[in-house]
Amino acid sequence: MTYVTDPIGDLLTRMRNAQKAGKASCTAPHSKMKLQLLELLKKEGWISGVEVLGEAPKLSLEVTFNPEKMTLTLTRASKPGRRTYAGVADLKPVLRGYGIAVLTTSQGLLTDGQAREKKVGGEVLCTIS
């Protein structure tokens, strides 16, 4: 059995690989953090849907891609070996506002725009454009 040391990076890689292969969806192991991240991406319109499959303890997530969006550029910013933090003053728009950065803050997972509005900083998980 293999162990994943970076579950968020694994999710982003699965999504990247599925899109490059021309798939409409992909599956990944379930976790609360991944589900929150995918719900945020769904709310922002980057993916079409996310569904929890299976029964506990073997849950998985199915991510359905948005056909209107072209191939997403998913980049992991903060890694287990090197965490990346940004204060509210350091949060700059990704791709001049066409992309988003996802942060984990004291108020939960937020996009860079939401974090600027609420004036909070945090760990930058990933950028999506």
Give 60-93 pLDDT, tens digit per residue: 999 999 988 878 899 999 998 999 999 988 888 8
Say what the pLDDT of residue 70 is.
76
Q: In the chain, where does the domain assigned CATH 3.30.1490.10 lie?
A: 74-128
Report, at the CATH architecture level, how domain 7-65 is classified: 2-Layer Sandwich (3.30)
Q: In the chain, where does the domain assigned CATH 3.30.1370.30 lie?
A: 7-65
| Burial of residue 98 (number of CB atoms within 10 Å: 0-12, 13-18, 19+) | exposed
Q: Does domain 74-128 have CATH number 2.40.50.140?
A: no
d(Cα 71, Cα 75) in Å, to the nearest integer?
Answer: 13
Select from 59, 9, 118 the least CA-distant residue to 110. 118
